[in-house]
Amino acid sequence: MDEIKAKDRIIFSLEKELETQTGYVQKLQLQKEALDEQLFLVKEAECNMSSPKREIPGRAGDGSEHCSSPDLRRNQKRIAELNATIRKLEDRNTLLGDERNELLKRVRETEKQCKPLLERNKCLAKRNDELMLSLQRMEEKLKAVTKENSEMREKITSHPPLKKLKSLNDLDQANEEQETEFLKLQVIEQQNIIDELTRDREKLIRRRKHRRSSKPIKRPVLDPFIGYDEDSMDSETSSMASFRTDRTPATPDDDLDESLAAEESELRFRQLTKEYQALQRAYALLQEQTGGIIDAEREAKAQEQLQAEVLRYKAKIEDLEATLAQKGQVGIWLLVLLQMQAIGSDLPLDHPVHGPHPGHGLALHSDLSQTVSECSTLCFCPWCFSGQNVHQLQQRMRLGKKESARGRGAPYK
């Protein structure tokens, strides 16, 4: 680019010099023409002097010849000098023209060479502008993200610390709680927006009634409640359509602007009401899902606990059988332990903890544990064993069998 600029400057200076030289040549040509005219006049004078009609006396003619001959020589010499300078200037002019043509050729060649570079420069400039715009957008996004991050940190610091999650169920429960909180916040925001729009709409209606007291327009005022039905919306649109058709061409522009603003606010109000209803439906569904999941988790935990207790009691029964076999009292104790094992195997482990009779399974297992403890004491105190104790144990076994057969029946008494 610098070379092109330098060549442009050289061409400009050469053109200026060429203009000066052409002006000088024109000036010399004018001088030459003037001298030619003088020479022509001198020659005519000589011809007139040499003609016989106008002969002048000898002395006078000799004097005029003597006077005109040095002027003629001087003029001829001057003409020769001017011709020589004209030839030199013409030669120089031709040289300058050739140089100018060569420079123009070189300029065209350089332009051809620089054309892809210029196009590339334009593309790079355009790309640079696009990158600058994208950089600005990214900076705006970064600012928004940092602002949101700071707000989230403030919310986290303001809220109490979260509990440590111990299982996938706890994680699901925490996620659902977060979703419910988010939905609550959205519902509150939508309710606030609906309230604001309702207030604005009421203000517009009051203002319009005040301005058009002579022509009152009956329009239904909608309250921001959940049961916003479509019939009221249809009546509202029909009233608005009738209001538009009743307007005369002489209505002022400010009233038209107010009507357009009112229509926009009403459309926005309807849209927000629909969104609010959808959010409430989603919130209700989410609450139902979370409630069902929590009950299922509790039932699974209770069932696991009951199974663990049954296994523990089975192990105790096996130990008791072994000890009784060693002491020789296998007959009666074996019958009692077999009955206890049958009760433990027939227990309704899938009975829900939060069902219609919440204490049923726990009562059975407490009774079973009491019986096992009595058996263990009798095992270690064989002299305390009597027919009355055996009769009581058999009655408890019968009651346990009845309750296990009932399953989900009445609670154990």
pLDDT tens across 371-396, in order?
Answer: 656 655 554 444 444 445 555 655 66
Categorize the per-residue pLDDT at 41 as very low, low, confident or very high, splitting at 50, 70 and 90. confident
Whether residue 307 is contained in a domain is answered as no
Q: Is pLDDT at 244 greater than 50 in this prediction?
A: no
Q: Do residues 141 and 35 both lie within one domain?
A: yes
Measured distance CA(371)–CA(389) in Å, rounded: 11
Same domain, 9 and 146: yes
- pLDDT score, position 371: 62
Q: Which residues contact 121 (CB under 8 A, 6 or more apart)?
A: none
Residue 301 domain-assigned?
no
- Predicted confidence at residue 55, as pLDDT, reads 42
> Does some domain include residue 47?
yes
Q: Are 226 and 276 in contact (CB under 8 A)?
A: yes
Do 180 and 146 sit in the same domain of this protein?
Answer: no
- Residue bearing the bigger pLDDT, 199 or 295: 199
Above 80 in pLDDT, residue 236? no
Report yes or no on 11 lying in a domain: yes
| 185 plus 280 within the same structural domain | yes
Residue pair 355/408 in contact by the 8 Å Cβ criterion: yes
What percentage of residues in the chain have a pLDDT greater than 70?
57
Arithmetic mean of pLDDT over the chain: 70
Which of 102-111, 228-237, 354-363 holds the top average pLDDT? Answer: 102-111
Model pLDDT, residue 125: 92
For residue 68, give both structure tokens: 């005109």
CB-CB contact of 344 with 368 (8 Å): yes
Instruction: Find the mean pLDDT for residues 167-173.
Output: 65
CB atoms within 10 A of CB 393: 20
Residues 240 and 378 in one domain: no
What is the pLDDT, as a whole number, of residue 127?
Answer: 92
CB distance 245 to 215 below 8 Å = no
Average pLDDT over residues 46-72: 54
- Rounded to an integer, what distance in angstroms lies between the CA atom of residue 264 and that of residue 245? 18
Same domain, yes or no, for 142 and 193?
no
The total number of residues written for the chain in this structure: 413
Co-location of 274 and 359 in the same domain: no
User: Which of 126-135, 147-156, 269-278, 315-324 is predicted with the least confidence, judged by mean pLDDT?
Assistant: 315-324
Give Cα 281 distance to the centre of its chain. Answer: 28
Indicate whether 38 and 84 sit together in one domain. Answer: yes
Number of structural domains in the chain: 3
For residue 67, is pLDDT > 60? no
Residue 207 and residue 265 in contact, taking contact as beta carbons nearer than 8 Å: no
Look at residue 77 and tell me if it is in a domain. yes
Host domain of residue 252 = 171-293
Asked if residue 6 belongs to a domain, the reply is yes
Interval 103-123 mean pLDDT:
88
pLDDT recorded at residue 373: 60
Give residue 224's pLDDT: 43
What confidence score (pLDDT) does residue 268 get? Answer: 81
The pLDDT of residue 405 is above 50: yes
Confirm whether 143 is domain-assigned.
yes
**Residue-wise pLDDT tens digits, 157-168:** 876 555 544 555
> Among 191-195, 278-282, 294-298, which is the least confidently predicted range?
294-298
Phi, psi (deg, nearest 5) at residue 216 = -70, 140
User: pTM for the whole thing?
Assistant: 0.24
Q: Is 161 within a domain?
A: no
pLDDT value for 238? 47
Judge contact between 301 and 354, C-beta under 8 A: no
Task: Give dist(CA 343, CA 385) in Å, integer.
Answer: 22
Does 282 share its domain with 368? no
Q: What is the pLDDT of residue 76?
A: 81
Of 76-80, 249-253, 370-374, least confident by mean pLDDT is: 249-253
Same structural domain, 122 and 186: no
Same domain, 14 and 78: yes
Confirm if 244 and 193 have CB atoms less than 8 A apart: no
In order of 303, 343, 375, 400, the CA distances from 412 in angstroms are: 18, 14, 21, 9
Structure tokens at 36: 């030619």
Residues 40 and 122 in one domain: yes
Question: When comparing pLDDT for 214 and 350, which is higher?
Answer: 214
Other Cβ atoms less than 10 A from the Cβ of 154: the count is 10
Q: Which residues, at least 6 apart from 186, have a Cβ–Cβ distance to it below 8 Å?
A: 279
